[in-house]
Amino acid sequence: MRKKTAFLFVIVSLFMLSLVHGQTTKSKKAFEYFNNGQYFAAIDMLRDAYGQEPDAVTKIEITFKVAECYRLTSQPEKAEAWYKRVVLKKYENPLIYLYYADALKMNEKFELAIDNYREYKKLVPTDPRGENGIRSCEMAIKWKENPNGYKVASMKFFNTKESEYYPAFTNEEYTEMYFTSSREESTGKEKSGATGQNFSDIYFSTQDKKGNWSTPLPLGENINTEFEEGGASLSKDFNTLFFSRCEKVKKETMGCKIFISTRKGEDWSKAEPWAFTSDSITVSHPTLTEDELTLYFVSDMPLGMGNKDIWKVTRDTKEGEWGLPENMGGEINTPGNEMFPFIHNDGTLYFSSDYHIGMGGLDIFRATLKNNRWEVENMRYPINSTYDDFAIVVEKEHERGYFSTSRDGNDEIYSFVLPPLKFIVDGIVRNEKTNDPIANATVKLVGSDGITVASETGDDGTFKFTLRPQTDFVFVASKKGFLTGKGKETTKGLIDSQDFKSEIRLSSIAEPIELPNILYDFAKWDLRPESMVALDKLVETLNDNPQVTIELRSHTDARGSVQTNIELSQKRAQSVVNYLIEKGIEPARLRAKGYAATMPKIVDIKIAAQYPFLKEGTEIIQPLIDSLPTEEQKEVAYQINRRTEFQVLSTDYKPQN
């Protein structure tokens, strides 16, 4: 974020040591540049002074200030290396652990960053930046592993080896854009001591019908000067231009101010300062609401909450006088830096902050006003990165636009878009027993948002629906002669388009339907806990088919006395009925019947596939079991006969009121 420092305020180190003793002329000069905010120029001077400085205390201070220069010119890799030196030298300022951790976080060394945030938290427990840093690292890891669906790309045609940032829309079609750049063609010939780059100008580019952007050109001399221009924003009719300018008078940097220009045909009028503060106060980053009655901006004026805050002024009419500046308050502003506001036409306020929980450096946040309070949301990865991300603009009707980022080195402009989410479910309805597809079944889609859509399966038993985002869905399949069945899907929490597969199995009411995993202890009829999972599914089936009555059937194998097996199977069937009644099923819909070993199982296609020694269509009677060659196979046959199933008795039950 080198170029943005032109709009930041001169930051003087909070912990200055008394360095009169033994200090060389070079060291004094380097410190002077540093204290004047000329960080880029100070780097070489400090490093040169280090080699000739005899005083050990001053050498440590020089090391710290070199690290600070790299931090303040957004060079985190170099900042990390120099802060590490300071940490190893046991520099007494606890901020070294905070800033070292910040650099590590920007370089995605999250675990080591957390260690240093903890060290800072231990030394300065009252400063929330230690705990916030730990949380930021944890969230950065999570957000990188789970991107939020935005697609971002570098606007390579705009970007050069210098800085490009702060995009702004200039027409309703979004085919023209202003942005700030310090490229070589800029008007001012002097380089910034804070960034090492040219003073920036405002440029424009237009897009043709094929989507190609023209070569960027600077705005005229009524806007661009030898000083630093940037941060352009236009009124909603695109006829008034607000932008920031930071001037120097006799080599003294003045506070940045907002300037205004109005459109004169194809040109802009000579920009005039929008002055309501003293020259020593920085005012920048303007953005105007659609009704043109509120202007948001950034300032370091007194009574703020941090280094740089977002403020606003309002007026009653477009021609009226602006009122007094009003701070946006603690929901937006923090003890850190809040900058680069952009107000959307729907009232959403976008801004950047280095204090709210973020991934590193400046993060972009979105604030919405709910119940007269601002709710602030991090826009997460990939909009945000561990570097500086800032100055976003968003189209009116679509979730797309442009933002600035230093993730590739210098500040660059990126585009972003949130592609429309597409969710498709391809399903099939099958016969539970035969696995055959069921044609002409009705499938009803019911969404948690209230939507209901019906479809019919084709000859191949398939159906298809388009699903809405952030919704739970139930697919209810039905056909005469079958119990109703259903499937479920949800699109809640999904940030990428997805295709779903759904299979709904319907059971024919013409044959008994087996309940799997209904288990009892030997010679007992009490339901074991694992049986209740299957029975809960039966409860769901009965609730989905409120018009049916059923007979619960319990079967034993042929071992033991006939009378004992009859009594045992009856009690087991009744235990199932009792469980269903406890779950709210009306007793009139249920009948219990124990069949002992009188109804041997007939091998179906599923059993034959699982146990090849049993042929499909064979009745598992005792002579068949006796003919099996192994005890293990015989036990399998006995087990298949020991089962619980239900048979639909009627489909015209009406609840008793």
In a domain, 462, yes or no: yes
**Same domain for 156 and 141:** no
Domain membership of residue 315 as a residue range: 151-417
pLDDT of 280 over the 90 cut: no
Average pLDDT over residues 181-188: 85
> Do 33 and 105 reside in the same domain of the chain?
yes
Peptide bond into 325 cis (omega under 30): no
- 319, 388: one domain: yes
**Confidence grade of residue 18 (pLDDT, cut at 50, 70, 90):** very low
- The total domain count for the chain is 4
Q: Which amino acid is at 41?
A: A
Q: pTM value?
A: 0.71
201 and 88 in a common domain: no
Same domain, yes or no: 140 and 252: no
Q: Is the same domain home to 176 and 68? A: no
Most confident of 13-22, 131-140, 247-256: 131-140
- In this structure, the answer to whether residues 76 and 124 fall within a common structural domain is yes
264 and 176: one domain?
Answer: yes
- Domain for residue 656, yes or no? no
pLDDT number for residue 525: 86
| Partners of 554 in the β-ladder | 594, 644
Average pLDDT, the chain: 89
**What whole-number distance in Å separates Cα of residue 578 and Cα of residue 22?**
94
Contact (CB, 8 A) for 545 and 653: no
Instruction: Report the SS3 class of residue 373.
Output: strand
When mean pLDDT is compared over 2-11, 240-249, 424-433, the highest value belongs to 424-433
The values of phi and psi at residue 428, to 5°, are -145, 140
Same domain membership, residue 386 and residue 273: yes
Q: What is the pLDDT of residue 611?
A: 95
90 assigned to some structural domain? yes
Burial 317-350 (b: 16+ CB within 10 A, else e): eeeeeeeebebbeeebbbebbbbbbbbbeeeebb
pLDDT for 657 equals 64
H helix or E strand, kind and range, residue 241: strand 240-246
Residue 358, beta-bridge partner list: none
- Please give the structure tokens belonging to residue 422: 């597409």
335, 470: one domain = no
Provide the CA 545 distance to its chain's centre, in angstroms.
41
Indicate whether 283 pLDDT > 80.
yes
Q: Would residue 657 count as lying in a domain? A: no
- Is the distance from CB of 445 to CB of 454 less than 8 angstroms? yes
CB-based contacts of 386: which residues, under 8 Å, 6+ apart?
105, 106, 107, 108, 140, 359, 360, 361, 407
User: Whole-angstrom Cα distance, residue 637 to residue 633?
Assistant: 6
Burial category of 108 from C-beta neighbours within 10 Å (exposed 0-12, middle 13-18, buried 19 and up):
middle
pLDDT of res. 278: 60
- Tell me, yes or no, whether 490 lies in a domain: yes
pLDDT for 593 beyond 50: yes
Q: What percent of the chain has pLDDT over 70?
A: 93
pLDDT at 11: 32
Place of tokens 């499909």: 616
Nearest to 35 by CA among 63, 2, 11, 59: 11
- pLDDT one-digit tens code per residue, 145-182: 988 889 999 998 888 888 999 999 999 999 999 999 99
In this structure, the answer to whether residues 138 and 210 fall within a common structural domain is no
For residues 532 and 580, membership in a common domain is answered with: yes
